[in-house]
Structure 1
Amino acid sequence: MGSVDYEYPLGMNNFERVHQVEVPPPQPFFKSLKYSLKETFFPDDPLRQFKNKPASKKFMLGLQFFFPIFEWAPKYTFQFLKADLIAGITIASLAIPQGISYAKLANLPPILGLYSSFIPPLIYAMMGSSRDLAVGTVAVGSLLMGSMLSNAVDPNEDPKLYLHLAFTATLFAGVFQAALGLFRLGLIVDFLSHATIIGFMGGAATVVCLQQLKSILGLEHFTHGADIISVMRSVFTQTHEWRWESAVLGCVFIFFLLSTRYFSKKRPRFFWVSAMAPLTSVILGSLLVYFTHAEKHGVEVIGELKKGLNPPSLTNLVFVSPYMTTAVKTGIVVGIISLAEGIAVGRSFAMYKNYNIDGNKEMIAIGTMNVVGSFTSCYLTTGPFSRSAVNYNAGCKTAASNIIMSLAVMLTLLFLTPLFHYTPLVVLSAIIVSAMLGLIDYEAAIHLFKVDKFDFVVCMSAYIGVVFGSVEIGLVIAIVISVLRVLLFIARPRTFVLGNIPNSVIYRNVEHYQNAKHVPGMLILEIDAPIYFANASYLRERITRWIDEEEERIKATGETSLQYVIIDMSAVGNIDTSGISMLEEVKKITERRELQLVLVNPVSEVMKKLNKSKFQNHLGKKWIYLTVEEAVGACNFNLRASKTNPKKDETEGWNNV
């Protein structure tokens, strides 16, 4: 890079135009702590709406905060009812077969899928802030719960204990979710990055599809393992037990379901074709089995489903060792996953309709419905994407569509459950496979590869971990890699050299802007992260290396010798004592080399700590400036003053301006 003959644009004869950084006024400790906690846990300031309001108004606002139904119900219209009625009936037609199918994934009785589509949606309709989220069981959560609980209790050997553990895990999931919302700890869910969720969901969907080979091939004995190797071994060591009748039926219904989805995707106004396809498959499959007696030829059916509404399950919860530990662990893991999915889905559709949802209120609503669900024979529920997409496309206006769906499920529980007796399991497997194929988002993975290779590695790590290990292993691997990436960003922050854009007062990275020129006699660096103990040593070494490289460059080009090291701290949001010690060491390094250290724009929190540590006094107030432009101007003036009167002290020359 060449050099530039810098002309200070402000004119050093006008000292008043140079603005030095002021130390912020001291704040009481508890006031500062209160502000920090507020910004961390209450960035949206939920209490601002209660300020300067009468008691009656505060009570109503509080009621609406926890029960948004009191906010939208008074404004409900007949037009809304018509739209929500159509949407509710449409998603009920999807919820009934999906509920039965997903309960099977969790190794639970099929009727629990219907129970879980009755009570939780009513709770969410009162407490949820999303207009489009359709509540129910989800495939990934069902698979995860089934996988984790099966490690402690075999659902075939002790189905009663397994069922009670599922209720207990749901209770702990709900308590954990609601606690996150009440204590404003939703940032925990943020550790599940977008790349992590894509890989995890894709891997879980692949595992779910592979496990459906049991029903599609009509196998009686199948592995309890969730990894691809165990599944493939189980499938191909039992080729003599494959049932062609079941396989043909499964392939036909998978083709039918995928065809209807493709049709609805190409013609969005016919969204109801895809939404009705699962229920249509159940009806057609049941009629086919009933008239052909296919159950006698290797096609398994659901069998009897108990009529009636949800029985209480409060007394069935398990709080004894060692099962309680399993229930707590399962509840926390599936609770985080279901929260991530539910909130992500809710926010996506809220963005389409241009309204906002409160993530913490959503956590409270989802947590509460799972707690109540665990008392009423339900297992884990959240807002699945497929059902919410149908709800959105059906034109829902409010959360009342969940109430309509719940009422439709109630009528099914009271009167229609005997009709599912002949529903073939292979049809349920086909429904699951068709739903899961939509979760394998290979286009998103390709996009990650193009945009951010590290995100792609996180995504594939989660996918491979789930497919070749287990759902838990894949999740842990993805989270660990994501956290390591965050730590890497903190431990190895970016630093780069700034140069002046010709004929301007703008300074930019010389590596990115080819026309940015080095300022003679000055090395201008920018640190792009807070300075903490984790990166202090690295930054000291990196700054020293920048100085060495700059001196070598100057020696090679024959430019003006280096005399100033200017550090732009605009992006340094905070600094700890290790960071201050690092600056002190850099100051000593520059002094040994007869260089002057200059700081630019330390933010208030950094400036406050520099002042308290006395570093500011050690450096000198005159060497801290608001902008790179002013710092360069001051240094440039001193360079000229030293040329004019070499014996005169630079600082004195600057002070006499």
Structure 2
Amino acid sequence: MDSGNKEECRALLEHIDDKMINNPELFIRRPVYEQKDLDCIYDYSKPEKSLKQTLKSTYKEFRLNDFLKKTIPIIHWLPNYDWKKNILGDAVAGFTVAVMHIPQGMAYAMLGNVPPIVGIYMAFFPVFIYMIFGTSRHNSMGTFAVICMMTGKVVLTYSNHEDSQSNSTSSIEFHSSINQYSPIEVATSVTLGVALIQLTMYVLRLGVISSLLSETLVSGFTTGAAVHVFTSQLKDLLGLKLIKRRGILKVIYTYFDVFNNIDKINVTATIISSITILTIIFNNEVLKPRVAKLCAFPIPIEMMAVVMGTWISVQLNLSEIYDVTSVGHIPVGLPIPSMPPISLLSSTILDCFIITMVSYSISMSMALIFAQKLNYEVDSNQELMAQGLGNLVGSFFSCMPFTASLSRSLVQTSVGGKTQLASLISCFLLLFVLLWIGPFLEPLPKCVLASIIVVALKGMFVQVKDLMKFCRLSFSDALLWLITFFTVVILDIEYGLLIGGILCFAKLIILSVIPHGCKLALVPDTELYLDIERYRKTMEIPGIQIFHYCGGLNFATKLHFRKSVFEATGIKPQEELNRRAKMYFTEGATDEIKNQLRVLILDFSALTHIDSTGFATLRGLINDYMKIDVAVYLAGCSGPVFETIRKCNTVENVSDIFVMLPTVSDAVRYAKHENLILPISIPSSQL
């Protein structure tokens, strides 16, 4: 211990001495209770409800009005909306988010290998439904790069994809032949599959499943997916015409194709991409922080880039003279509702499940962050219903699966958005775009949209910093992040999520089957019992060993439990029996045996669960120690653990070998009385 720590400890001891002088010690006098005596005196009973009582109480508590308000939240918040306080902030937020939706929606639709107008459809139909049923006030729902790219992979696999962003006026129409589907058909089929999975999860009340994807897994996965997104935009940034790679190692093959075609770069498209990227970065890093001090309304730089790109394309005729690929035909009006192809569901159901897990986890993570920050509640099961219904409706209107966007959500909050009404205002503005503005954006160069995507990836690439945080907190978390990231990048997205998920679950299983255990010892002049390895000035009581067990005792942990007890006591009963048999007639052996362990106290105050296998293990352990004249007491059992032990005793007709006491202190005092073990007292002056 260095001199600084010694001075700190000395000052702390002086402070404690002052407290003891000014505050006399508190003495508590009470009898030592056994658990059965305590239960009898204070009338212990297990709380039980029959099925009839449960149904009756549920029926009494059921109120149609409350049920409707919970199921359709807009019924609750819209009549109570504070128009004077919130309308200005929601109006500004709705307009701002609508302006962001247009370029982001068109750009992210390209990731999904569907026409750009689909991104604006996604900002209208499912968002309108979510506004009615959702519980997050600040999530900006719609397109998100990772989800669109995951959908685009399925579209590329199952569609007769030539170039879904071509200038063909029929690109948005449904057409299919034998075993062939259009990109829109595949995308809407995936959306329908995601909707059905989400609604099924809602019926089964599986909202808690979002917590199964850890922060480490999501961070590594989305960072790796950002590499895929960036790679997919290289051809548009550089004006190259490359074949679309699929499957394992597609990122590596794509870079190989780029370098092989480096002499075919379209200089005009590259210049436009560079100017757009630099302009947006300059705005975000330099202008935006300064403008934020003057007004809450941010500069709509992405929308300005779209408008300027379109105007320059028209003035310079970029498409024909410089061979710069443009967005192409954008239909006017709303799409005609059509049924997605049900026959595709059997082929895409696994992809749908993966997309469901990722999209729901991302949305819930963002919703919980905003809810915690702004002090309101988010219902995880209701979010499943809202997203499921949004995807269900969207699947009939040419939409891909939607989720929350971190960038838009942060902007919506920062400009004053208070409630879901901001989404409603955004939807009405986008409806105006769909009905009248769309055709004006047809000359927009694709390289502008690709530039918007690349700059928007900054937030995902910055997550690399999370790796350093995980390294400091836990080596296993850092390793999980690295494996997930490199698997996503080198293999493919679904492989990364699968392997990362398996490792995440494996970590949970390992932690559950290797619970924590430690020896406890007495803090002198107190009734505190602390970990002897962490508190070096604690004192062991001669003849008594106290073992603290934290976790579950079941079929998976029984061997670890026995091993931990043997290591803590330093005695294996069978070996001790053999040793004593050999030493029985040896001179001095009797005294040695008398000085050995007499009582083992198992502190089960942190035991969470015990099953029949765990009970059998515990019973066998007690019997083994009884054979070498060591009494075993159980201390601090919770109600469910106590009830399970009692039930197993009754069912298996076991004689009452369990001595149970409510606290470790009771167990020690009981052991001293029953086994004639002399108490020890160590004055604090010896510390």
Shorter chain as denominator, the TM-score bin is 0.7 to 0.9
Matching residue of 1:583? 618
Tell me which residue corresponds to 2:193.
172
Taking the aligned partners of 1:246 and 1:549, their CA distance within structure 2 comes to 77
Question: How far apart are residue 327 of structure 1 and its match?
Answer: 2.8
Q: Which residue of 1 aligns with 2:12?
A: none
Unaligned runs of 5+ in 2: 1-24, 165-170, 176-180, 576-588, 680-687
Q: Is the 8 A contact 1:570 1:602 kept in 2?
A: yes
Cα pair 1:149 1:327 within 8 Å, conserved: no
In the alignment, what sits opposite 2:162? Answer: 156
Matched residues, number: 612
Q: TM-score, normalised by structure 1?
A: 0.87
2:428 to 407, 414, 425: 407
CA distance in structure 1 between the aligned counterparts of 2:266 and 2:593, rounded to whole angstroms: 84
RMSD: 3.0
- For 1:197, which of 218, 232, 238 is the aligned residue? 218
SS of residue in 1 equivalent to 2:518: strand
Cα 1:510–1:270, aligned 2, differ >3 Å: closer, same or farther? farther
Q: Which residue in 2 is equivalent to 1:561?
A: 596
Q: Is 1:455–2:494 an aligned residue pair?
A: no
Q: CA deviation at 1:640?
A: 2.8
CA-to-aligned-CA distance 1:12-55 (integer Å, 9 cap, x gap): 996466665649535668559x98xx9xxxxxxxx98x8568xx
TM-superposed CA distance for 1:261, in Å, is 2.1
Structure 1: 5+ residue stretches without partners: 1-8, 39-46, 644-657
Alpha-carbon distance in structure 2 between the residues aligned to 1:642 and 1:501? 17
Q: Deviations over 1:511-547 (max 9, x none)?
A: 2222222222112111110112111122112222322
Counterpart position of 2:303: 279
Tell me: CA distance 1:619–1:95, structure 2 relative to 1, closer, same or farther (3 Å): farther
Q: How far 1:550 moved relative to its partner?
A: 10
Provide the secondary structure at the position in 2 that maps to 1:567.
strand
> What residue is the counterpart of 2:117 in the other structure?
111
Aligned to 1:375: 396
The one of 55, 58, 66 equivalent to 1:61 is 66
**Aligned partners of 2:35 and 2:27: how far apart in 1?**
13
Structure 2 CA distance for partners of 1:118 and 1:500, relative to 1, 3 Å:
same
Residue matched to 1:288:
312
Counterpart AA for 2:237? I
Deviation larger for 586-595 or 449-458: 586-595
Structure 1 stretch displaced more, 93-102 or 488-497: 488-497
Whether the 8 Å contact between 1:271 and 1:393 is mirrored in structure 2 is: no
Letter in 2 for 1:332: F
Summarize the alignment of residues 170-249 of structure 1 with structure 2, pairs less than 5 Å apart. 170-225=191-246, 227-249=250-272
Corresponding residue of 1:443:
465
Structure 1 contact 520–559 (Cα < 8 Å) conserved: no
Which residue of structure 1 aligns with residue 349 of structure 2?
A: 328
Does 2:106 match 1:100?
Answer: yes
Which one-letter code corresponds to 1:600 in the other structure? A
Query: Who is 1:44 aligned against?
Result: none
CA distance in 1 between counterparts of 2:668 and 2:291 reads 62
* Aligned residue in 2 for 1:632: 668
- Say whether 1:343 aligns with 2:364: yes
The equivalent of 1:132 in structure 2 is 138
Shift of 1:621: 7.0
Matched, 1:489 2:487: no
Larger deviation, residues 492-501 vs 102-111? 492-501
In structure 2, the residue matched to 1:72 is 77
Q: 1:87 to 1:584 in 2, by over 3 A?
A: same
Three-state SS of the structure 1 residue aligned to 2:79 is: helix
Distance 1:447 1:498 in 2: 33
Of 322, 325, 329, 1:297 maps to 322
How far residue 287 of structure 1 moved from its aligned partner, in angstroms, is: 1.7
Whether the 8 Å CA contact 1:223–1:234 is kept in 2: the answer is no
Aligned to 2:548, what secondary structure does the other structure show? strand
CA-to-partner distance for each residue in 1:423-482, whole Å, 9 max, x for gaps? 111111111111112112122221111112111112222111111111101100111011
Secondary structure of 1:571 counterpart: strand
**TM superposition shift of 1:121:** 1.6
Describe the SS at the equivalent of 1:311: coil
Match of 1:86 among 82, 92, 103: 92
1:540 maps onto 2:562 in alignment:
yes
- Name 1:475's counterpart in structure 2: 497
Gap change, CA 1:10 and 1:542, over 3 Å in 2: farther
Letter in 1 for 2:275: V
Give the fraction of aligned pairs with identical amino acids, expressed as a percent. Answer: 24
Shift of 1:183: 2.1
Residue 545 of structure 2 aligns to a residue whose secondary structure is strand
Give the whole-Å Cα distance in 2 for the aligned partners of 1:515 and 1:268: 57
| Residues in 2 aligned to 1:75 and 1:492: alpha-carbon distance in whole angstroms | 51
Q: Which has the higher contact order (CA 8 A, sep 6+)?
A: 1
Per the alignment, do residues 11 and 114 of structure 1 end up closer, same or farther by CA in structure 2, a change over 3 Å counting?
Answer: closer
